[in-house]
Each structure stands twice: as C-alpha cells, then as structure tokens.
C-alpha cells in the first residue's frame, strides 16, 4: 500500500465531522451530545448514528486495527477517520459513494477487516450488549396544534390498531413488551403520550413535519407532568433548549400563562426559538442568558420552576464515554454535581414566590441525583419539603430513590430502562411549606445563600458542594448498585430524539426551500 495520500477527491464531510467528534469524546472526555448538536452539518441525525456506532464498537475497533495493520501500512491515515470509515463498512451502510483516497484504502482492506471480526466473535464490544433493552417509540401529541381525538383518528386511518388502555402500570408494561408491529397504546400516566413498536419511523409523517406529533421519550415528559403548573401561572425553565419540556409545559397550561425559557448557548438558543415557533407555544418567552442571572426583581410572579441541568447523560441510550477511568468519571461527576447544586439552590432560594420546583436529570448516578437533592435541602432549611412521588403516582410506579440519605430518598423517582421501558431518568419535586415564615429571616437567608452561590460560580475551580456531602454521597453511591453499564445502552433506535428530531425538521425545510428555488 502507498503511504502517500492524493486528496484530489475530498472525504465527505459526514465522515470528517464524525471523526472529529469521536476523537474529542474518547481523548478529551467531551460530551457526545453537545458535540453532535453544536455541529452545523445538515445531516446531524446521520452524524449521531455514525458516531454512536463507532463509539459502541471502539474496543473492537482497536483489535481490528491492530490485526489488519491498516494504520502501520498507511502511516498518514488519520486514525480517527479510519475508525469511522471502518465502522461504516462493517456495521453501517457497508458501502461508500465516494472515491476519496481514505475511503478507497479502507475498502481495499475489506476482506482483512471482515476476517479480523470473525477471528474475534467474543470480542467485548460493549458490556451492556447482553442487557440491551429495545425501547418503544414514544410520541407526544402536541395539543397546541391538534387534539388527542384527532390524532387518534389520524393514526387509525394510517392503519394503526389502538390497544385498550390498561388498568395497572404493571399490565401496561406487559402490553408494551408484547406490542405488535401495527399496534399502539395510550400511555398509562399521560394521556397525550402514545407508545408505538420499537423503531417506528415518524420522520416523514405529516403530523411530525407540521409539529403536531413530537418524538419525545416518556421519561423526558415526566418533568413537566410532575411540575403540573396551573393555567395562567408564570413558569421558569432554567435550562430550556432544545424545548421539548418547555413546549410540554406550554401544552399543559394551554398557552394560558407565561413561560420564561432560558438558554445560555447561542446555538442551542436558536434551536429553542425555532422549536417554540414550530410547536405554536405562544406563551413562551425565550431568554438567552445564564440562568443564574435571572432575578425575582424582573420576574416577580414566577410560581413554578423546572431545573433540568446538564448531566452525564448516563441514563440515555447515547454513549458519553466508553469505560472511563474511575478518576476521570469521579472528577466529571464532581464538576457536574457542583453546577447542578448551584442551579437547584438558586431556584429554591432566589425566588421567594415560587410554589413548586422540579429537579430532573437523565442520569442514573446518585451523585447527580439524591446527592444534589440532599445538598439543596441542607441549604434551604425548612422552606421546602419533598413531594412523595410514590403517593403522587398513586403507587403506580416501581422505581424510586435510595434510602439512607439525610432525607427520604424514596420520595424521588427513577425511570429504569429495563423496568420502565423508557430512558433512564431521575425526578425530585420540591414544594414550599404552607406555614408562614418571618419575612426578615427569609430575606436574610436568601441573601446569604445567593452570595454563596455567586461566589462559588465565580470560583469555578471550587466546588459548591461541601466535601462532607461529597464523601457521604460517594459512600451511598457504592451501596446503591447503579452503574452506567446497567442503563446506558437502553436503545440505539431512540438516538436522543429531543435534538435530532429538531435538526431533521430543519433539514427538510432547507431541502424544500432549495427545490422551490430550482
């Protein structure tokens, strides 16, 4: 093989962008989700699928590359691009529509690559393969644009068979597990959510294109469902992009009230604005700002707050980092936990008129969940209490938080892919206590705590979470036998719909616009 590359034909951008993301995820521990959706490539969904598959096979790729000596014999071959192209050849489309030199090189090794795979039938592709759950497709009806009855009628004319709604959550899960290829069923808890067989495609469905049908996992719907704001109220969504939960809240109050949707990132803010407009969420006012700068002086009447901050994403089907070292994982969780605690405490302490606050993550790590709740309860004193979600769900839910914390962890809710057939998720609901407090004492406590929040924000190297609390939570995390391998690979079909659906819709609009111009 020649060691010289002739770049007369460029490698398709899909592969180049994917290789850059794979490199940053595996070498720098960067966030898979953030990198993919900050990308300006029109085929974000394709990049997501290819990067996910490459990361999924990363350990096997190391063995294949070593055995075939493809990088040794082609020293100028970008090793990260090689991983992506090999993945496409072996587990993806299995063909290329390009004659770029790197692609021809990989194709020339096709037999050797396939032989290397056969020689490692027991390769440890992923520790979750034997536990993988194929999740169903969840569809939320956007009641701001259509009614549930009209959606049902449309599904009926599409040829779908509606199964009867179940009497218990257990029977509902059984029905989902055995759902037929033409069947669908209304969700047990949320009437606006419907469940379809795994892998059902809606990207070309007229209802999806016009915003009437939203592909949102059930777990993601729980935050707005449990916040359950009253009509005509004011709501703050502190981490709003891409807008799924924001627009769900808008549907719950039927555009009767006001929702302030905050997002700091420029790219994500634009996505949020586009999605809010697309779904007819007229009551939403988008704000590009750091959520920790939103003050009650500007938003005096906020009664409900949703805090769904950045997290490890360990409960989702995506793969953030394959088998990170314990030291790297612990450090990452420490930083995330500190930011999460800051945001939750800010919501609880900075808005004296707020009645209810929901804290949620798509993580299964207690460091980001029970430990953050524990820290917040210490700082807010007697101002708030946790809502018992077991009672709230009328005992029709199976998985809750751990016992043994300074509060009753069982009051918090977990969604577990293997058991609840949706993405991994955590939700805690804070409710202001009814008893009156001394206004001067409340103000003094608020002022003191907010100074602490801002000081910690300014000193990014320091942790907002006390060392005592971190140590306590680490011990509880060991007792709680939860790990990424148990929940992370729930379903490759979902591919984190919240963002990819929005990007896919934007691609369609661009194509239609180009066709119209031609």
- Give the number of other Cβ atoms within 10 Å of residue 9's Cβ: 13
Tokens coding 304? 């409900």
Q: Which two tokens stand for residue 63?
A: 């063995």
Q: Which residue has the tokens 């034997």?
A: 130
Strand partners, 260: 236, 285
Question: For residue 419, what are the contacts with CB-CB under 8 A and spacing of at least 6?
Answer: 173, 398, 399
CA–CA dist 97, 90 (Å, integer): 15
Task: For the chain, give the number of residues.
Answer: 518
The H-assigned helical ranges of 74-147 are 79-91, 101-108, 110-118
Residue of 424, 425, 428, 140 lying closest to 275 (CA atoms): 140
**Burial level of 459, CB count in 10 A (0-12/13-18/19+)?**
exposed
The strand pairing partners of 415, in sequence order, are 425
Q: Which own/partner contact pairs does 92-97 have at CB distance under 8 Å and 24+ positions apart?
A: 92/49, 92/50, 92/53, 97/12
Query: Is 362 designated active site?
Result: yes
Contact between 148 and 125 (Cβ < 8 Å):
no
Phi, psi of 481 (to 5 degrees): -85, 70
Q: Is 127 helix (H, G, I), strand (E, B) or coil?
A: coil
Catalytic residue among 128, 239, 345, 362: 362
What's the Rg (C-alpha) of the chain? 24
Contact between residue 432 and residue 356 where contact means Cβ atoms under 8 Å apart: yes
Element spanning 500, H or E: helix 497-517
β-pairing, 137-141 vs 213-214, is antiparallel
For residue 139, what are the β-bridge partners?
194
Q: Which are the catalytic amino acids?
A: 362
């Amino acid at each position: 093989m020649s060691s010289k590359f002739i770049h007369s034909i460029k490698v398709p951008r899909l592969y180049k962008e994917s290789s850059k993301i794979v490199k940053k995820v595996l070498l720098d521990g960067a966030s898979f989700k953030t990198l993919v959706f900050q990308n300006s490539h029109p085929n974000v969904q394709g990049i997501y699928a290819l990067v996910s598959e490459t990361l999924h096979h990363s350990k096997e790729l190391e063995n294949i590359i070593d055995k075939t000596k493809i990088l040794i014999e082609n020293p100028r071959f970008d090793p990260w691009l090689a991983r992506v192209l090999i993945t496409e050849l072996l587990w993806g489309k299995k063909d290329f529509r390009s004659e770029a030199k790197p692609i021809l090189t990989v194709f020339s090794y096709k037999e050797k690559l396939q032989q290397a795979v056969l020689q490692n039938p027991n390769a440890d592709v992923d520790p979750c393969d034997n536990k993988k759950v194929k999740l169903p497709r969840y569809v939320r009806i956007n009641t701001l644009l259509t009614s549930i009855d009209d959606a049902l009628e449309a599904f009926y004319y599409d040829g779908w068979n509606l199964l009867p709604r179940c009497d218990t959550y257990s029977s509902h899960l059984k029905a989902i597990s055995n759902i037929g290829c033409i069947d669908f069923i209304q969700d047990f808890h949320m009437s606006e959510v419907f469940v379809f067989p795994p892998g059902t495609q809606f990207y070309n469905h007229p209802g999806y294109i016009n915003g009437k049908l939203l592909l949102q996992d059930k777990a993601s719907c729980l935050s707005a469902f449990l916040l359950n704001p009253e009509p005509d109220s004011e709501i703050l969504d502190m981490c709003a992009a891409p807008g799924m939960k924001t627009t769900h809240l808008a549907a719950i109050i039927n555009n009767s009230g006001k929702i302030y949707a905050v997002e700091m990132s420029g790219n994500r803010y634009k996505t949020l604005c586009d999605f809010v407009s697309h779904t007819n969420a007229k009551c939403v006012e988008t704000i590009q700002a750091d959520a920790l700068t939103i003050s009650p002086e500007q938003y005096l009447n906020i009664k409900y707050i949703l805090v769904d901050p950045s997290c490890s994403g360990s409960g989702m089907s995506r793969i953030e980092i394959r088998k990170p070292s314990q030291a790297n994982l612990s450090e990452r969780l420490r930083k995330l936990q500190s930011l999460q605690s800051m945001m939750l405490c800010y919501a609880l302490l900075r808005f004296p008129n707020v009645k209810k606050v929901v804290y949620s993550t798509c993580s299964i790590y207690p460091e980001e969940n029970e430990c953050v709740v524990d820290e917040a309860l210490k700082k807010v004193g007697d101002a708030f209490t946790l809502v018992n979600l077991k009672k709230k769900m009328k005992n029709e839910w199976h998985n809750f938080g751990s016992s043994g914390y300074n509060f009753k962890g069982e009051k918090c809710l977990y969604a577990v892919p293997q058991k609840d057939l949706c993405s991994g998720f955590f939700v805690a609901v804070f409710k202001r206590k009814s008893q009156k407090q001394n206004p001067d004492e409340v103000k003094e406590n608020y002022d003191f705590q907010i100074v602490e929040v801002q000081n910690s924000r300014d000193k990014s190297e320091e942790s907002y979470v006390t060392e005592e609390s971190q140590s306590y939570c680490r011990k509880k995390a060991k007792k709680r036998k939860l790990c990424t391998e148990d929940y992370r690979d729930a379903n490759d079909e979902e591919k984190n719909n919240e963002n990819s659906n929005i990007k896919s819709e934007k691609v369609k609009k661009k194509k239609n616009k180009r066709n119209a111009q031609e």
